[in-house]
Structures are given as C-alpha cells and as structure tokens.
Amino acid sequence: MPRTNRPPSYRRHKGRNCALVTIDGQNRYLRPYGSPESYEKYARPIANWKRGGAKRQPAGGNLGEEPRPSINELILAYWQFAKTYYIRDGEPTKELACMREALRPLRQLYGHTSAADFGPKALKAVRRHMVDLGLARGVVNHRISRIKRAFKWAVAEVQKTVPDTFSG
C-alpha cells in the first residue's frame, strides 16, 4: 500500500531531461529539470494534492480567443499601482512590504495560470500552502485579504478600460 502522507516527489526523467511528478498513477511532465518553471508547475499539483483534490489543471483557452492575462501580469500591474499608492511622506509604508509577502505564494503556485482560471479552490490551495509554511492564522488571514484586494483592484481596472457598449 503506498504512503499517502508524503507528497509525490519532484524527479528527473533522464530520457526527456525534464522534471516529472506522478500523482494518482499519472505521470506529469514538467519543464526542463531544475528550472524555475518546473518548480512552479510542480507546486500547483502538490498544493491540490495536499488539499485532497488532485484534479487536472484547466488547459489554455480556445483558439481565436483573446489572450487572457496571467497571474504574473496581474501581480505586476498591481505592484506598479501599489508602489504609488502605499506611500506616506515620500516613503513606502509597511503595507507595501506586507503586500509583497502576501503575493509571493500566489506567484509561486499560480504565476503562469490565467487570472480568469483562478478561483476559490485555487485560493484555498494558496491558503493551505501558507498554513504549511507554519504561518499563524492571523497572518494567513491578512495575507489572503491582501490577495483578494489585489484581485478586486484588477477587476475594477479592467472595468475602467472596457468601453460601455450600452451607452447610446
């Protein structure tokens, strides 16, 4: 009987020279072994495995669709805004540093995922990752609220850039 208390290991597939993880009996080939992208692609299914649901990540959008921004692009846009917003007397406030720490696990786990594909289950996986790091409940709750704030800002910014088609 296989052990279920240990996460599946990050390993190297010598023939393809890429990283490999086996979850629920299925091999998942990642990017080149040792690359940052492969570690990110490894962290996402492991986060899902830890919360008990090892379902597949959604594939990319259909052909002909407009490309959707990734989580990394959303974080970068929010960071540009935050650097100008969280300032007092010409100096950055502590909230800017707290925001950086809050967005880091989001970027590590879901950086290349489309922002539109990020939902409540993915947020729970990010929260579970923070708990697994040993953070206190209050710290985790504050960081999750900061992540929500970043998404609310992004939604508001998208609404500002979309022209109103109903005005006549």
Convert the pLDDT of each residue in 55-75 to its tens digit: 444 444 443 445 678 899 999
Alpha helix (H) residue ranges in 33-133: 36-50, 71-85, 94-110, 120-132
What the block records as the tokens of 2 is 């296989």
| DSSP type of residue 115 | G
Tens digit of pLDDT for each residue in 91-108?
999 999 999 999 999 999
What's the CATH number for 71-161? 1.10.150
Residue 160: which H helix or E strand, with range?
helix 137-161
Domain ranges for the chain = 11-50, 71-161
What is the C-alpha separation between 116 and 158, in angstroms, rounded?
A: 12
pTM of the model: 0.61
Burial of 38 from C-beta contacts in 10 A (0-12 / 13-18 / 19+)? buried
